[in-house]
Structure 1
């Protein structure tokens, strides 16, 4: 076999992926996938260039460290084929699989899976595309059956087991769920503290100081967890009459008329999560999860009664809920001063740095001291950051002196804005031109239209029922909507990149009309705007500060 350059063996990249859920349920291990791929590569005489794995990564998105590495290897050239055990290892979304195939083809590389059915002909690609849609359809049907089964169980008043019982409860085979008194004792203290007027931060501190483990079993409590517990209907006693209005007559009849019950809600929201990546300012990328919640109509919510504890009487719970709901941080309408680096300064631990003002009594009276401090520095968690606070006046003057000096070099600023625009385009994680990527998504939308027509023809010929046609068209329409969303996202990304270029030109025109002395004397209120246009990011370093932005090299400049 010849390689990509016509000499020697073909070079292959082996790719394996497993999500946490798959690994737990199926034992679908990375090692097993890679072993199967090695055996296939050896049989076919392929030279393995690199083995790439994505552990605990969902196939619903292409934003994965391992997949980014594969795409970079292919873009660098010399890769003949990327191998995976199954087609859905590359992506569970057919539209993304189509994008990868077209992207790799431009570099002379093919995508292969050990369960491929088709070949490189148009007919073979159509076969694989239909199989991808069918696999997606089966997954959607299975998920829907599971969801309906759980909702039916919830409407019958039965407890739906999750990976961990709610705090203060334990799952029991006969009763479904029972009280766990040691944790209920902790909840009683939390509710009493809240009823006395303590906020979530103060309660968090007390729990930490007393060494009480959090619901996850870890030593650190979060403020969000404290507030969520106090406001949860699970711990609020409801009378039989109140619960009867929320559940079916059959469930209400099975409850004690003189008892009280908490309410555990199901089907309140539709939750979707995906992973995204973005430039980290150092020439690399950082990954984070983004979860969206869409609240369902209250008529779709399902209430499941749970037992209540005598430790949490209705009066105590109500006082705590009212106090916690009122205990909100005041809106910051009048800042203590113009903070030049607000939203720009980031701690070396990766967290953002907020603002802090301390007032101390001096001989001449009270004096305010202004600082930037890491947001993790204010937490009671054991992994709190140890970064020292930064005197605002010192860091602001140091950074502005550095930036003002850089602004005196227009060519460096122009090159920096060009690099920022390229980074914005690269955030789409494709080495192709924006026009080519848009063309790919338009082709995928057209393919969905062709497949839709083909299924309709099959139904007209009596090869499938209307119900089957409806289910299959729903999957195709979802892929079409997904492709249209990616097309819109690509256009938006290109618009942002062009906006960066326009901002650069506008800033350069402004600088050409301003003397270096005037730049250095720019009012503090206007400096933050300059930093934002430069996409500046500043981090404390052992010696000074690290600065990244439009005029800084990817390895970061130091001030």
Structure 2
């Protein structure tokens, strides 16, 4: 009879132990003993493929050969080598039976006898159970190792090497000296030169740096992963993702894990693992802030025409962003407008269109630029506003100290309540369910208090930098003042995006939220900030503060004559309820 044989192993370790060769040797011996005709093209093998899958190259070839009538009998070592799922076993065996092909299992011959069929079903069910059991043990073992501080996996991130397990030490990450300088260089480009991802990629691909595979170009996803992965600041995370069915599957073919995609677990489920530090914590935080800023100011869209205030405008009526459009009029005239994104109910998934009318770009651009030029040309007024803020902050320091003491007292009370609950449970006064519910309530209150306490401490740290920022305030205005009068469009856009965080467009005025970056430029950048290749600068840190407005004549056009640009001194009574007029950081000043 024309015969075919099939063998399978599911792991690389089984491949190294040559278990598939032992299967093939036994199957060849069976063919020789039965005087079957076995050709080399009818020897099918799957190395490193799970028995829970049907999409295996060797199995597909075997099924094709049976379908085409090339073989009359198929020999397999055991049913679990065919599949570890009973449903798959039945499917393939029924397919072979309809094609007139017999199946022989060497470890146990299966006939059409009801007893043998029952045994086959039991073996398939047991094999499926064993696989599920092994999978669960493997998962729990990985979690246990992660909680013990062991790095999970053998694929080290770029900049590290994986040191395999030795006799007395577990596997761990160590710094790769050939790659670590590239990682530090990427973070320097992002945080010091404020480059975008595309600019970094261009520099990498035209420089002496190579990815781990040794071939260019660098992948954007690889560079973004390096710049956003917390492993470089000393913490790797295990148990970050869970696998779930895809909401919109891209393919009807099932994925390797039987599910469509993965998603982040809640952060409290992550398991932190200490690894060698490559990037300092402060640099890592600045990198994440810069990535967020780059995303907000991305130039990937709407670049055909120049819009001074792109990515900065927000509609006060609906809260959505405003974007620029260009209309072509008679006589080859182009006119720019800013429109609210809320005009499109389909894209915003809103029931009603935003009532905000379009605003002439020339009027709005001119008003904002005049305001910025006046503001930066008068550092004395900035200093006066800063002094006002520092005075208000000093007066509120005593109240904040009282608030912090109150929070600490409440935290101590919650800790005592938790201990009393445990005592009551041990005395069998309350049930386990009641204990769990009430402790969860205490935990929620404790997290809220911890958040309030951290906010208080952040404010205290901000005030410690007040004098340093005040010293640098005049220097910043001098650095930027030189290019205000002769600035090109690219320079104007760079300056506007440097000092303005958000512009909220009201019916009769503008609300401008500023940020002044005071971090000293890195060496080689010159005495004043310079526009990058895309004509754009980003602030070191975003700090927002609402400003009331001053009447400003804007001429005719889409803006109302009462349009005003904010520029006045803050007083505590004028600050909106629940909103601080100023937020001060070590690298930025809101005013």
The alignment's TM-score, normalised by the length of structure 1, stands at 0.45
Structure ranking higher on relative contact order (CA contacts 8 Å, 6+ apart): 1
Q: Which structure has the bigger radius of gyration?
A: 2
